[in-house]
Chain A
Amino acid sequence: MSSESRLYTFSQDTKAALRKFRLGTSRAKDPQAIIYQIDKSNMEIKRADDEVYTNVQELADELPDNSPRFVLLSYPLTLASGRLSVPYVMINYLPPTCSSEMRMLYAGAKELMRNQSEVGRIIEIDSAEDLEDIEERLKGED
């Protein structure tokens, strides 16, 4: 783990934003998602854009076809038992058309990202369509 932190970096702003996002989204009524990418030139993990997505469809449209991305998602659920739960998960988006170089880049940073963002668990998806049944997956695994 420590070897990865020497390779990939987080800026202070990113770390603060991650903390704020984790703490601030548990009370939201709709899904909140932020896309993170790794900058190849300086190996920095940072936000892909400045938007917080509240719609799963929009999120699916924003994901690129041929590059991996990390998505931090907070999704309010009403479980079968009636309980309200807002799981905070990381989505590891890895399309099959991306190059091996990109795959290894994101695979190396996965655990570091998990620890830094303090998510509950990681969900692997390989196409934007898989996002559509994210709700079932979250419910099913609880």
Chain B
Amino acid sequence: MPSSTTKPEIHHLFHAPIADHSFSASRDTLAVARSTTIELYARSGADGFRLEDELRGHDKTVTGVDIAPRSGRIVTCSQDRNAYVWEPTGKGGAWKPTLVLLRINRAATCVRWAPNETKFAVGSGARIIAVCYFEEENDWWVSKHVKKPLRSTVTSVAWHPNSVLLAAGSTDGHARVFSSFVKGTDERPEASVWGERLPFNTVCGEYLNPTAGWIHDVAFSPSGNALAFCAHDSSVTIVYPSSADQPPQAVLSVTTQLLPFTSLLWTTETELVAAGYDCGVYRLSGDTNGWQLTGSLEKTESSSRPGLGEQREESALNMFRSMDLRGQRGGLQEDTKLKTTHQNSISTLRPYEGGLGEEVRRISTSGVDGRVVVWTL
């Protein structure tokens, strides 16, 4: 696979880690979790972002942000065990927060809106996933708990396109698929490879990472008929279920020599992109017969080095000067900067262009270095 020829759009927002980021549907607003606040950036100029608003409300670090594409509502969750739903109030710019009582006694770790935007799921360190929906009768967000058989912190949640099935990765080494069907809010989903009659908290599938490594991220394929998860043993596993009570059609694992991935995303039914502690984005591709790592999105060294003018010339003066001042052999600045675009690990991968049934053509990443980068695949 050729790496991208279009340069990635880099936005170095600040010098602090970004726990999670989310773009609005029009991609003109970017919400970024920074310590205890959420900063909202608006596009300004050709390709810059300007700080527009700050959502304050959480007492502790914000761990998850998600903007619902159609309604524009923002849901955030934090280590203070709460979640807020922020509603836009017209052109005034002010956002109205509504506290959602999750009833958990540990930090919330991740939050995502369901595709139908009437529910959202919050993973937590309390070994519980809180599925929250709005009850009209009481004018209140109610949270229902998915408890069994989670045995440790939930690190990530992902929704199936039907808004009923929910995948969760946990530090107990398992990736699981649950039904989060809520009577009254959801319509009965069509039968799928994951099962038919699915009351709340039914476990439709439970997959163990063989080394029991922590699962960092889970994702359903665009059709919902396959599940991918990445674990701390540097592996990516893809599961193709056959039907509710049968063993899966295929469980394929790709182990890489790279550092573990923290986030992954399906671009098509047969392609994945993943990013993690190596600070770069990698592609994987395959199908029910097998998967393999196909390449990186970074421009490789050999293609960028000759005469592109980005490296400084190694003059003898610079070389001896750096040896004298810094004790470094070689005058190039490379020892202080990573060769990758991100200068620290990547924590979140999101689709930027495409997704929701279409092939993903551009993705956005954010990481511990405070950068948000938009890549073209």
Contact = CB atoms under 8 A, between A and B. Distances in A.
Interface of A: 65-67, 96-99, 101-102
B138 A99 contact: yes
Contacts of A99: 138-140
Interface of B: 103, 135, 137-140, 142-144
Contacts of B139: 99
Given A67-B137, A96-B103, 17 more contacts: A65-B142, A66-B135, A66-B137, A66-B138, A67-B138, A97-B103, A97-B142, A97-B143, A97-B144, A98-B138, A98-B140, A99-B138, A99-B139, A99-B140, A101-B138, A101-B140, A102-B138
Instruction: Classify the secondary structure of A's interface with B.
Output: loop
Contacts of B140: 66, 98-99, 101-102
Contacts of A97: 103, 142-144
Contacts of B103: 96-97
A65, A96, A97, A102: residue with the most chain B Cβ atoms closer than 10 Å: A97
Nearest to A99: B140
A65 B142 CA distance: 10
13 contacts: A65-B142, A66-B138, A66-B140, A97-B142, A97-B143, A97-B144, A98-B140, A99-B138, A99-B139, A99-B140, A101-B138, A101-B140, A102-B140
A62 to B, nearest CB: 14
A69 to B, nearest CB: 13
Contacts of A98: 138, 140
Contacts of B138: 66-67, 98-99, 101-102
B149 to A, nearest CB: 20
Nearest to A102: B138
